[in-house]
Amino acid sequence: MNGSNRIMERALTEARAAAARGEVPVGAVIVLDGEVLASAGNRTRELNDVTAHAEILAIREASAKLGSERLINADLYVTLEPCAMCAAAISFARIRRLYYGAEDPKGGGVDHGGRFYAQPTCHHAPEVYSGIAERQAASILKEFFANRR
C-alpha cells in the first residue's frame, strides 16, 4: 500500500464515522510534510450548516492549527470528488494537491459540473489525482443511500 492510499484509508474512516452519525459519508484529511494536520467528516446535519462539508471542516481545522488562511504545500485527500463550493475553497487555500476517491457526476465540481479549476477565473488550481481507493469510497456511499431507502 503506498502513502496516498494510507492517508485515503484515514479519510475512509472519517467517511464511515459520518455515516454512523447519519451524515452523507464523505471524509477528508489534510497532510503537510507527511504529517496529518486535520481530518474531518461531513457534519451538515449535526451543525445545521450546508457549508459543513468534510473538506471545509478540514480546511478550517488545518488553517487554525497553522494560524494561516493559506495551506501552501498542503495536500487534501477526500473520499468523493469535491463539490463546487469545496473546489473553490481548496483553490483559495492554495492547496498543492487534491486526491479524491469516487467521482461524483451529479454533484462534483472538479471533473464534472462547473469544472472549477478549468475556468479562467480560477487563480490557483491544485494538481488533481482521482480514483484513489475509489471502490471503497463508492461502496460506503452506495451502502449509506441503500439503507436510507
Catalytic residues: 55
Residue with cell string 503506498:
2
Residue with cell string 479549476:
117
Does 86 sit near Zn ion (CB under 5 A)?
A: yes
User: DSSP states of 56-83 as a string?
Assistant: HHHHHHHHHHHT-S--TT-EEEEEE---
CB of residue 80 to Zn ion, shortest distance in Å: 8
Residue with cell string 460506503:
140
- Which of the ranges 34-42, 76-84, 119-127, 135-143 carries the binding residues for Zn ion, by CB under 5 A? 76-84
CB of residue 53 to Zn ion, shortest distance in Å: 3
Which residues on adjacent β-strands are paired with residue 97?
Answer: 75, 127
Q: Tell me the per-residue interface mask from 96 to 135 with Zn ion, x by CB under 5 A, - otherwise.
A: ----------------------------------------
Q: Which residues are near Zn ion by CB under 5 A? A: 53, 83, 86
